[in-house]
Amino acid sequence: MTKKALIIGITGQDGAYLAQHLLAKGYAVSGSSRDVMASSFSNLNTLDIREQVKLISVSINDFRSVFNAIQISDPDEIYNLAGQTSVGLSFEQPVEAIESIAIGTLNILEVIRVLGKVVRFYNAGSSECFGDTGTTPADENTPFAPRSPYAVAKSTAKWLINSYRESYGLYACTGILFNHESPLRPERFVTQKIVVGASKIKAGLIQKIQLGNLEICRDWGWAPEYVEAMWLMMQQGTPDDFVIATGRMESLTYFVSKAFEYFDLDWQKYVEINPSFFRPNEIQQSVGNPERAIELLKWSKPTDIDGVIQKMCAAQAKQLGL
């Protein structure tokens, strides 16, 4: 029989790629956004899959709304990718971060428990939960040390997953994903801001871009590969949590220089530092150890930062006809 999946938060980068991945595997896919009538679903349109997905309006903070969506879609698998996605914004809107991430996750868990459904639940975790890893890659046993309201909310959601898994026997797991990028990223994410900025400078459309702290170091991967890891977690005999990363860390300066180099530009001539873009409590270094996922999930070794930059820049160059 055809498997059914519900992707809560299908409008974002990960939601769209996950929908594409599941459709390719023969799933019937339902997806939610806060307001189906108002959402553009641009990412689904870009991947040319919007008409293949059943769309449902869901307010993840509202238990009844989540309850109705799960009843209507009757899924075998639920993927929760909803909630606030910006670390920086969480400092400005901390209540929204906690409600949309932690309370939203709790609502899904409670609906599954109350309905007594045999369903598998994936929850989107975050490397931000680890705080500053230094140069030692974080793995599944690394303690959490969240530094932002976003990270606190993601940490809370992860422990809720563990609690319901142990208390009620639910198949519920968390993917602790490090940074992962693609052309579907909106420009509010710094990687896409850099790539789009460099391409527009090359095309003569703008003269400079402004960025924040270039000394931060991150582990950047390729988003389509990360959604494959989400699916693999849901196919295991028993539920478990996994770190998804590349194991390679580079500075934002490295990302900027390589992106501008793709367009034959010297980044130092075109980038200005704006202190207002610095966060109140920034993580300087963040890197993960994916070996357990590679070994147990049989997840292919991921594309590292050089491949990510190459693919993002190529997509942007094609869009601008460069």
Residue by residue, DSSP assigns 27-86 as -EEEEEES-TTT---HHHHHTT-GGGEEEEE--TT-HHHHHHHHHHH--SEEEE--S---
Tokens 């938060």 locate to 9
Query: Distance between CA atoms of 175 and 167, rounded to whole angstroms?
Result: 20
Chain-centroid distance of CA 122 in Å reads 13
Rg (CA), the chain: 19
Residue 41, C-beta contacts closer than 8 angstroms, at least 6 positions apart: 10, 11, 33, 50, 55
Look up 261 and say whether it is catalytic: no
Query: Distance between CA atoms of 18 and 97, rounded to whole angstroms?
Result: 23
Instruction: Identify the CA nearest to 316 among candidates 208, 153, 203, 159.
Output: 203
Please report, as a single letter, which amino acid is at residue 217: C
Q: Which of the residues 128, 181, 225, 250 is marked catalytic?
A: 128
Classify the C-alpha dihedral 85-300-119-167 as positive or negative: negative
Q: Which of the residues 126, 155, 199, 257 is marked catalytic?
A: 126
Query: Distance between CA atoms of 7 and 5, rounded to whole angstroms?
Result: 6
Look up 27 and say whether it is catalytic: no
Look up 150 and say whether it is catalytic: yes
Q: Which of the residues 27, 79, 122, 150 is marked catalytic?
A: 150
| Residues annotated as catalytic (active site), given as ranges | 126, 128, 150
